[in-house]
Structure 1
Amino acid sequence: MTHSQPLLGVELSGTGTHPASWRRADSRAEELFTAGYWLDAVLAAEAAGVDLAFLPDSFAPQVQGAVGRLEAVGIAARAAAATHRIGLIPQAPVTHTEPFHVSKAIASLDFATHGRAGWEVTVSSGQAALFGRKAEQDPAGLWHEADEAVEVVARLWDSWEDDAEIRDLTTGRFIDRDKLHYIDFVGENFSVKGPSITPRPPQGQPPVAVRAEDAHSTRVAVRRADLIRVAAPDLDAAAGIRDELRAAVAAAGRDPRSVSVLIDLDVHLAATEEAAAAEFDQLETWTTTPPKALRHIGTPATLRALLARIAADGVVLRPLALPAFLAQLPRLTPTLRDRLGLPHPLNRYALTA
């Protein structure tokens, strides 16, 4: 994908990605399981000009921090009618769910948002006992199954042609059955005849995101994803990972320009760098966390400067403390003058030294 500006995404994860974020006075942890909390977060991101809202999900309870979560697709559906521009990309695990259900849920979200839905593919490790239907799988098996699931979902989205609904009052035919198609998929994990019960989504194929974390997930990402999320320890590594993924996408027979590589960036923002550092130190005093990706502790201005140096098609900001980040977010996104490359003008009446 080619963009005049890099994509800006925000991961809306609980009270924040830091496990101690719920202990902050401004965390709104008591509202975590209310619709209002999530609507406020998505609406704040949209108002600030964020392109994509990623909504994490898992069947596993959190090990640390605020325990429990609402379903990501449900959150996105609740935010659909209240938003107008932002892309909503919930995670939907495939290991213990059926592709038919996932295809229907994401297609329905695409209808609800008038074409702003996406899907982040995840697998479920260590959760088989919660379902009792099959044994645990190793990473290779999990991602091989995920690869098949993405193929089935894509075929189900295509199982209705765009003009399959005819609504012919004279003959009483609501659909043209010649424009509904069996997908007849048979793989090692799924055997799905189809067609879908839901018409083709407004986008045809809602964008698919995959976080490339290891060899198995990366293999699926370069074959299937429109958005590839990656973590990198530093800026040079981020640029190298992007180049490697573009080469791998091309080797898989796909156009690298059709795929966006998004760098994860853990962030905590405050009005001053000193305040941001002190607040981060407090989080670490409560619960120490090893850095797993790029991390920025500072102000909106220092973050803007960092974003300008990252070689990627976009960045996914992962707030360590979500409500605190959202309060600073309006100062982060560029103004129209910024986008045009124009400096902030001096006030002609202001006194100069």
Structure 2
Amino acid sequence: MKLPIMPPVAPMLAKSVPTIPAGASYEPKWDGFRSIIFRDGDDVEFGSRNEKPMTRYFPELVAAVKAELPQRCVLDGEIVVATDAGLDFDALQQRIHPAVSRVTMLSEKTPASFIAFDLLSLGDEDYTGRPFAERRAALEAALAGVNSPIHLTPTTTDVAEAQRWFVEFEGAGLDGVIAKPLTGTYQQDKRTMFKIKHVRTADCVLAGFRWHKGSTEAAPLVGSLLLGLYEQGRLQHVGVVGAFTALRRAELVQELAPLMLADGEDHPWQEWASAEAHQGQRLPGSVSRWNATKDLSFVPLRPERVLEVKYEHMEGSRFRHLAHFVRWRDDRTPGSCTYEQLEQPLTFALHDIVPGLGSDQAGLG
């Protein structure tokens, strides 16, 4: 394979914003596996968000790429599994399996599709330095007449149309709208696009768990999962997930067992019992400020697994309330789970709400 853009490539990313911005190109936000397709004749590779190849898991798409795409190209897009009821992310996750026989079976039972939405190279030309409007026009020309399961995502520059998509497309399993600056270049691993989603979600690192208060030696139950996000290379405690059924709590005991630390293994939060360790770092094992007798000890896990959670809003650097489990994200790497993905509310001074409140209060009292 010899292309102007060679694998691995870290996809360009999006930052959450609360409303649809004006003056951009808008497209639906697909709920699947982000993937960059590299094709050089009969050589085809599917890159992933974590830059690891996914080619072997989607043989039906490899065949489709050879049949439908230009001989030499690099495309950014999303792998999805579509059903009559909408997108099926659970079925998509099942496609990631080590057994060739199962991959083959699932490729026939739950075939995937590829939704193209950006062009990185075509022939010998590198398009990453060109504005999105130009990349989009070239993508449309390159994929003119393309057949299923390869598709071109719709776009619009009409904000009202994008708002309609945001409302109506949710019923099909899409989870929002992406806005791309028309003059923006393709910047790997940079959050230069914008995403508007229906709920606030975050991909977090699973770093440990606490036992449920009803757990016994004979019938152990997981109480809550401890969540972390990376900040300047350090894994910070950001909150917990804990709303599980009793059956699910029992299942989690077995599911998390392979992640438990072996003797001598280190953990990012192993120093939690030291009061000094809490200076400048958010750790999960400090004494509760509401109940000094409450046991906040936890079972540390190797921080290797990622889960998506839904949350209401942030309080400082933590989730304000209990987060809610959405799904495992085995397509994400722990190191990609940073605070940058979170929606940052606009700063608003108290004195702009109530005149004098919060402004120059030092001498009052």
TM-score (structure 2 length as normaliser):
0.23
TM-score (structure 1 length as normaliser):
0.24
Q: Which has the higher strand share?
A: 2
Q: Which has the higher helix share?
A: 1
Q: Of the two structures, which has the highest relative contact order with CA contacts closer than 8 Å and spacing of 6 or more?
A: 1
